[in-house]
Amino acid sequence: MVKVLLDSPATGVVVTGGASGIGLATARALAAVGRPVALWDINAEGAQAAAAEIASTFGVAAVGQAVDLRDPQGISPAVAPARAAIGPIGGIVHCAGTAAITGLEGITPENWDAGMALHARAVVLLTQAFMDDLKANPGSAVVALASINATFGNGMIPIYTAAKGAVLSLVRSMADELAPHGVRINTVSPGIIDTPILGEARDGMEAAYGRRVLLGRFGQADEVARVVRFLLSDEASYVTGAEILVDGGILHSQRP
């Protein structure tokens, strides 16, 4: 008989990049099942407006906070206010990201460090900052957004692809250390998802890659969000150290 898990954690979740795209959709998906959310974003106004909308739509605690995830000093001041606003924290979702178009020639020590800090180092600093909370709350879990580009490679955005590759490897290592504490950690690698990160490249991408997506279309942010929500729930109680593709089949597509 299939066991229906009705006791998934109702703890709060910190969602970085919560002002837009996949982060915003994830915060809404979590709030829809009663989980309080703290939206951390460099776009303070956007995060606060989104949190207000989520609180009024879903009737859960929600807060928007200004945090620059590239800044190693930026995380700890936001921790206590997040706890105060949304209660016990049992989840982290790291969605904040940018894809700097540099090619090889455009890489500098500064933009390299910034990209690695934002995508990869932040997973470490966020988990360290909430380690006591995660250990204390049964069913706690972390999800870091990686990308199909970590596997494909992409000459336009080498800092981004390297950082996402680091995320995949880092999460496997962290899964080992976190497991004895009852904390799971996984990556979600989206394919081409229709969010502002695609920018002006979007239309060209549709022409170049659209046919290769087995499901025949770009994805929507809420289709990624529902998978993230699953990974944060007890429905995913035996899933850790995994990379889950949410890409409409493009990574394994052999279509020309």
Buried/exposed code over 22-41 (b: 16+ C-beta within 10 A; e: otherwise): bbbbbbbbbbbeebbbbbbb
d(CA 209, CA 191): 11
Residue nearest to ligand NAD (CB): 21
**Residue 169: CB minimum distance to ligand NAD, A:** 16
The footprint of ligand NAD (CB under 6 A) covers: 16-17, 19-23, 41-43, 67-70, 95-98, 118, 145, 147, 190, 192-193, 195-198
Residue with smaller CB distance to ligand NAD, 137 or 186: 186
Residue 113: CB minimum distance to ligand NAD, A: 12
Regarding beta strands 89-94 and 62-66, do their DSSP bridges make them parallel or antiparallel, or are they unpaired?
unpaired
Q: Rounded distance, CA 191 to CA 225, Å?
A: 13
User: Half-sphere exposure of 12 toward its Cβ, with a 13 Å CA cutoff?
Assistant: 23
Q: Could you tell me if 13 and 90 are in contact, meaning their C-beta atoms sit under 8 angstroms apart?
A: yes
CB of 83 or CB of 151, closer to ligand NAD: 151
Least distance to ligand NAD from the beta carbon of 147, Å? 4
Measured CA to CA in angstroms, residue 16 lies from 65, 73, 127 at distances of 9, 16, 12
Looking at the Cβ atoms of 74 and 88, the one nearer to ligand NAD is 74
Check if 160 is active-site: yes
CB 169: neighbour CB atoms within 10 A?
Answer: 13
Closest separation in Å from C-beta 181 to ligand NAD: 25
CA distance 152 to 168: 13
Q: Which residue in the list 40, 58, 160, 218 is annotated as catalytic?
A: 160
Rank residues 21 and 139 by Cβ distance to ligand NAD and give the closer one: 21
Catalytic residues: 160
